[in-house]
Amino acid sequence: MHLFVYKCWLLLRSIFRPRITDFSAVVKHTYWVTPFDLDEYIHMNNARYLNYMELGRFDLVIRSGFFRYALRHNIMAPVVNTTIIYRRSLQCFQTFSVQNQLVYWDEHKLVVESVITRKGKLYCIALKELRMVQKGKAIPLDTVMLGMGIPLPELPFSRELIHDKQALIKQLLRHAEQKFEGKID
């Protein structure tokens, strides 16, 4: 129930925040672990990490204008694949940050990196692949972006790396550890 409240709050807040015109921008939110997030081991349930990551992606969808564009043109962007790595546990009442950023795209898919950190330490990283779908068929991403008026950015990961999932996971983890544990900016 509290995630529904977060989503409603995020929807209202996103409407009044500046529009995102750069898809390579990092969208960051801060939350705290509630007793409803805990599992039998008294730390945040693994599925809740994905729920909080999804809230950040929802903000990106609204503030970029995609949500409105998608409703008008009957387009969906379902998550078709998720790769997630858990590094540390979050305990009850701890605050944490969720950051979402587009890290790769091609003709039909987007890949969003979602990272959960606390006090500069990496707790969890996920890579989510999304497809643009209209009437049950994948549609070219360029068509959607042109319609929205947002150019696609230069991206940090190569096409070869994205298609080699194991190499990508290792590279993402190494990059996130360096980025969030003070080894690079």
Q: How far is CA 71 from CA 62, 75, 153, in A?
A: 11, 7, 24
**Which strands sit side by side in the sheet containing 137-138, from one edge to the other?**
75-76, 133-134, 137-138
Please give the Cα distance from 131 to 96 (Å, whole number). Answer: 28
- Closest Cα partner for 57 from 120, 127, 122, 114? 114
Please give the Cα distance from 179 to 185 (Å, whole number). Answer: 6
- Closest Cα partner for 105 from 83, 137, 127, 76? 127
Amino acid at 108: H
According to DSSP, the residues that pair with 134 across neighbouring strands are 75, 137
Please give the Cα distance from 63 to 39 (Å, whole number). Answer: 32
- Closest Cα partner for 32 from 109, 116, 107? 116
Catalytic residue among 39, 59, 164, 185: 39
Q: Does the annotation mark 185 as catalytic?
A: no
Residues assigned a catalytic role: 39
